[in-house]
Amino acid sequence: MILGIAGSHGKSAAQVMLRWAIQQGRSVIPKSVRPARIAENFAVFDFDLSADELSAIDALDTTQRGGPNPEDVTLESSAASSPRRDP
């Protein structure tokens, strides 16, 4: 569904999700070190999502967390899987 919305606007799925958050009044801080991706992240102010598109994305919320509870994440529990961990 996100890809369909993206295709209709000539944007990527990431751009649609950034635009969705912006139109919802949320603060968005995308992260990238790649110049092309940084430029893509900024290219979200030349289109608007319709009310129907916003509602369709909102409807994807299952109220179920897809990852760990942030309160359970500690340096010790996440360090083993960190690719930037110093030896």
Residue pLDDT, tens place only, 72-82: 888 877 665 55
**How far is Cα 23 from Cα 31, in angstroms, rounded to an integer?**
19
Residues 22 and 16: their CA atoms lie apart, in Å, by: 10
Crossing angle (nearest 10°) for helices 51-58 and 13-23: 100
pLDDT (tens digit, 9 = 90+) per residue, 18-47?
999 999 999 999 999 999 999 999 999 999
Q: In whole numbers, what is the pLDDT of the chain averaged over residues?
A: 89
Tell the residue number behind the tokens 């900024």, with chain if given.
Answer: 42
Tokens 């930037």, residue?
Answer: 84
